[in-house]
Amino acid sequence: MRKIAAAVLSAGLCTMGLSMAIAHPDAAEHESKNVLPADMDRGARTELMKHFAQSLGVRCSYCHVGEEGAPLSTYDFESDAKPAKERARQMLLLTHKLNMDEKLPGEERVSLTDMSENRVTCYTCHRGELRPATMVPSPEG
C-alpha cells in the first residue's frame, strides 16, 4: 500500500509539474496571502500548526518570526518575512489539490483545515523530517 501511495503521489506531483502557482480554491474571496480561512477556530488553527510542526520536525520559529523559547505571545504570526511560511502555504495547497484528485486511492476526503480528513498530509512525505523522503525505504530497514 505504501508503494501505491508513493506512486500516486509521485504521479500527482509530476502531473502538476510542481507548479507553485496553485490558486486557492476561493482565491477571489481572499485579498491576503493566507490560505486558511480567516474565521478558522483558534483551537483548530493551533492543532493544524502542531500537525505542521510535528510532521516536519520543526518548531514555530521555523515559519514564524519569533525567538525560540520565548512566549508565543511575543511572536509576529502575521509576518511573511520567513520564506518557509510561503513554502508552507504552497505545500498546503499542493496537498489539498492532491486530496481532491479522484485518482487518489481511498475514500474521498478533503480539508484545508483538518488533516485527519485528508488522505495526503504533510506527514505522508515528511515523516517527521524537514526534508521529505525521496525514496521508498528498503524492506530490510
Interval 89-96 mean pLDDT: 92
Per the CB < 8 A criterion, the answer to whether 111 and 119 are in contact is: no
What is the per-residue pLDDT for 137?
77
Nearest one of 55, 38, 76 to 131, comparing CA atoms: 55
What is the per-residue pLDDT for 141?
60
What is the per-residue pLDDT for 23?
44
Q: Is the pLDDT of residue 79 over 80?
A: yes
pLDDT in tens, 101-136: 888 887 777 888 888 888 999 999 999 999 988 888
By CB atoms closer than 10 A (0-12, 13-18, 19+), residue 80 is middle
pLDDT in tens, 30-73: 345 888 898 999 999 999 999 999 999 999 999 999 999 999 99
In this prediction the pTM is 0.69
Q: Is the pLDDT of residue 85 over 80?
A: yes
Interval 81-105 mean pLDDT: 91
Residue 112 makes CB contacts below 8 A (sequence gap 6+) with 25, 35, 36, 37, 92, 96
Q: Is the pLDDT of residue 14 over 80?
A: no
What is the per-residue pLDDT for 91?
93
What is the per-residue pLDDT for 16?
40
